[in-house]
Amino acid sequence: MAIIAVSGRKGGIGKTTITANLAGELASMGHKVAVLDTDPQKSLLKWASLGDGLLSRVVVSLDTSHPRRFKGQVDSVHAVADRVLIDTPPGFADPALLAALLADVVLMPAGPSPLDIIAAREAIDVTRQARSRRGDGLPLILLVPSKVVAGTAMGRDLPATLASLGEPVLPAIGQRVALAECALSGLTIGEYAKGSPGHREFKALAEALEKEIA
Ligand SMILES: Nc1ncnc2c1ncn2[C@@H]1O[C@H](COP(=O)(O)OP(=O)(O)OP(=O)(O)O)[C@@H](O)[C@H]1O
Ligand SMILES: [Mg+2]
């Protein structure tokens, strides 16, 4: 059983892409997944509505404006799904903070630019504050190198740069056309391009995540 929030200060860094495709991989590993879209932009709900695959069945949009009701809704979803993924909007607004207060894991995608690293550091600080407020040692913070462009020095150095922020780093997701295309078709990468490099990266990411939460 695990509640996994995907959060970050930076917009457009791959939070929704990672939420959707991790859901696909966790489902194909045999987990019962639920995906909660707490972003007022409803990007994930729109993605899911474009196709007829897994996401069309497991994504629901949740309003976080009443924190106690939100927690109740997450708990009831968690009672029937063993992996609950929560996509949050950028900037550590209320949905991301609320998710950090109830998640077991906060996944933080981070890109290779210096501004991305600064944003990741800030997001880690906010999440650590949520962790000390809770007092149960959770959430676990896991960093995910995201939108990494192959063959660049910044991309190559990113895992080591992120590791210096003091939290574990999971396998990277590259900048790949198929990952943008699968959203347009309403599918996960495993449904859209099974066995492609992007799909293999998400398999590796899901396996590494499972090891961390085992
Ligand atoms: N690894 C990737 N390779 C190629 N395109 C990607 C990748 N990850 C994300 N994208 C594209 O980048 C854009 C932003 O991605 P996404 O919506 O996942 O980011 P986000 O962090 O959820 O954004 P927001 O902060 O607005 O919620 C989308 O068009 C998406 O298809
Ligand atoms: Mg998003």
175: Cα separation from own chain's centroid: 16
Top mutation candidate among 7, 9, 16, 43 for ligand 1, by most atoms within 8 Å of CB: 16
CATH 3.10.129.10 fits 2-213, yes or no: no
Mean pLDDT of 115-134: 95
Say how far apart CA 5 and CA 88 lie, in whole Å.
7
Tokens linked to 187:
């599918």
* Domain edges within the chain: 2-213
In sequence order, which residues have a C-beta less than 8 Å from that of residue 158 and are 6 or more positions away?
A: 110, 111, 112, 145, 148, 172
Residue ID of nearest Cα to ligand 1 atom 23 = 12
- Residue 170 CB-density burial (10 A; 0-12 exposed, 13-18 middle, 19+ buried): buried
**68-81 pLDDT per residue, tens:** 999 999 999 999 99
The model's confidence at residue 17, banded by pLDDT at 50, 70 and 90, is very high
| pTM, 2 dp | 0.98
Say how far apart CA 128 and CA 36 lie, in whole Å.
22
Query: What local confidence, expressed as pLDDT, does residue 92 receive?
Result: 76
Strands 33-37 and 105-110 turn out to be unpaired
List the 83-87 sheet strands across, edge first: 59-61, 33-37, 83-87, 2-6, 105-110, 140-145
Distance from the CA of 58 to the center of ligand 2, in angstroms? 17
**42-93 pLDDT per residue, tens:** 999 999 999 999 999 999 999 999 999 999 999 999 999 999 999 999 987 8
Residue ID of nearest Cα to ligand 1 atom 9 = 14
Query: What local confidence, expressed as pLDDT, does residue 93 receive?
Result: 81
The model's confidence at residue 214, banded by pLDDT at 50, 70 and 90, is confident
Say how far apart CA 99 and CA 103 lie, in whole Å.
6
Top mutation candidate among 7, 13, 15, 17 for ligand 1, by most atoms within 8 Å of CB: 17
- The CB-side HSE value for 14 (13 A sphere, CA atoms) comes to 25
How long, in residues, is the chain? 214
DSSP string, 181-195: HHHHTT--HHHHSTT
**165-198 pLDDT per residue, tens:** 999 999 999 999 999 999 999 999 999 999 999 9
C-beta neighbour count of 118 within 10 angstroms: 12
Say how far apart CA 36 and CA 45 lie, in whole Å.
9
Q: Is 6 in the pocket of ligand 1 (CB under 6 A)?
A: no
Query: What local confidence, expressed as pLDDT, does residue 36 receive?
Result: 98
Query: What local confidence, expressed as pLDDT, does residue 174 receive?
Result: 97
User: Which amino acid would we find at residue 88?
Assistant: T
Query: What local confidence, expressed as pLDDT, does residue 91 receive?
Result: 87
